[in-house]
Amino acid sequence: MTRTLFIGLDGATFTILDELTSDPYGEGVTMPFLAGLIAGGHKAPLRSTNHPLTPPAWVSLMTGRNPGSHGVFDFVRFKDMGHDVYFTLYDARDIQDETIWSLAGRQGRRIVSLNFPMMAPPPEVEGCLVPGFTSWKHLRRNMRPEGLYDRIKAIEGFDPKELAWDFEREAKIGEDMPEDEVEGWVRHHLPREAQWFRIADTLLEQENPDLFAVMFDGTDKIQHQAWHALDPALRPAAPSESWLRLRALCLGYFRELDGYIRRLVERAGPDAQIFLASDHGFTASPRVVRINRWLGEKGWLTWRAAGDSEAEKRRESANFAYLDWTKTLAYCPTPSSNGIAIRVARGPGEPGVPEADYESFRDTLVAELKEMRDPLTGEKVIRDVLLRERAFPGAAMGDCPDLTLVLADYGFVSVRNVAPVVSMRATPTGTHHPDGIFIAAGPGIAPGASGRFSILDVPSILMHSLDLPVPRNFEGRVPDGLFAREVTIGPPSRRMAAGTAAEPQVADEASEAEKLRILEQLKALGYLED
């Protein structure tokens, strides 16, 4: 009997779901089943990690710990080598805290976990695990248990190229797209979500696990590119035919998603407790803030002069092709980090800020950042600057940027060497908002609505739903009034050494070409830049 059903909706926000579960424009109720769940269940906004980004947020939801403890801060890790910066992708071996999949399994609960990021190479679990964020060529070797791929392959309509990210196809999509290309982007994700649903439906029936968890991520990808067709604040007074066509396509996606949720809830049975949550929310980002350009104009980052050829001029505007590491004191490693890394000199004559001057340099940087203004409106473009020891306390804190920027519109920064520092976009793009969604329903769930929960509460809630004690080192809680029965606190979850996750079933790592394709996908979504 499935006791607990968890459905993750990447980037889901009540800004959109409140409209899709009602009918404000006479389009019909797009998500009637979800509307019923909310009406009879419990609803709350869900505050994400201090930097609301997919990898650290989902890993926090899986571990009950903040990124400073579990060690995942971004899609890619960076290491300052003095003369250069080295980048590589995060994976499961970087997670330094035990996940709920492991916790539940070693306490006698069988689990199924589908499409959650940072789960490859997969750890051994008591049940089934299929990671997300994996190239289709590497799906077979990255599933648990052995033989699961052949079971999934037997499902009618199975196509691994649709199931996993198609990096070649999605890498062709840029930040600024005409609406016919945006339509293509949305259409691409419909069959992909259908693939994950069919696998979820099949394994839920066959495995009947105690904890079943699946994550649908088309919500995030579609909102990144088609936010202007979904956000009620951006709805045009006189919509064009292309806008109406794009909106209808987006509503069709959410309508299908509602059907998937209904089927999984029905499959889980009347005794299951149902939980839905997102890693972060969404909002509109009308500005571009080029943080490395700003650091350069302030004299804290130095670019080397490029040649006069067109190729060299293009390279000059790229991330770090012409950055002078001998003179650079601070830089932003990736747009998705929204961070600034301060370089501390390793010794006399080495590049960076002298160790004794670190705090005063950082204080100056914070003060200057908070005064950055939009030259057109005079408005401040940064609402907050987070110090890493406050935002991400824990043993892994030293691996994240020294400062994390919260922009006024919650957007991602740009790292390109392009003027001006601040400019307006032609069309606002969808970006992450710190408030996502939490919905609970089923027997034993108190109906109603609450104030904001934390994403760190979700694993505590799932453990309690499984009738397991909440580990005492979890940073979240089971919110009062959500359950009728008393919460018990158990021994702490395990601390893992980075690099200890199980190796893939085939020893060779993903090729450099595959890693490059993943990086291209992240560029397509705006998390990285050329």
- Please tell me the distance from the alpha carbon of residue 229 to that of residue 472, in angstroms, as a whole number: 44
Q: Which of 300, 422, 432 is nearest to 371 (CA)?
A: 422
In tens, the pLDDT along 70-120 reads 999 999 898 887 777 788 889 999 999 999 999 999 999 999 999 999 999
Q: What is the pLDDT of residue 500?
A: 45
For the chain, domain boundaries: 4-134+174-280+434-505, 288-427
Q: What is the pLDDT of residue 318?
A: 59
Q: Which of 447, 435, 440 is nearest to 465 (CA)?
A: 440
Q: How far apart are the first and last CA of the chain?
A: 49
- Please tell me the distance from the alpha carbon of residue 14 to that of residue 276, in angstroms, as a whole number: 12
Q: What is the pLDDT of residue 266?
A: 97
Is 0.95 surpassed by the pTM of this model?
A: no
Tokens coding 100: 């709920």
In tens, the pLDDT along 482-507 reads 998 889 999 999 998 766 443 333 33
Tokens coding 3: 């006791």
Tokens coding 95: 């997670």
Whether domain 4-134+174-280+434-505 has CATH 3.40.720.10: the reply is yes
Q: Which of 84, 75, 497, 36 is nearest to 323 (CA)?
A: 84
- Please tell me the distance from the alpha carbon of residue 97 to that of residue 69, in angstroms, as a whole number: 7
- Please tell me the distance from the alpha carbon of residue 373 to that of residue 90, in angstroms, as a whole number: 34
**Which value, in Å, is the radius of gyration of the alpha carbons in the chain?**
23
Q: Within the chain, which residues score under 50 in pLDDT?
A: 167-175, 500-510
Q: Which residues pair with 211 in a beta bridge?
A: 4, 111
Q: Which of 2, 65, 493 is nearest to 214 (CA)?
A: 2
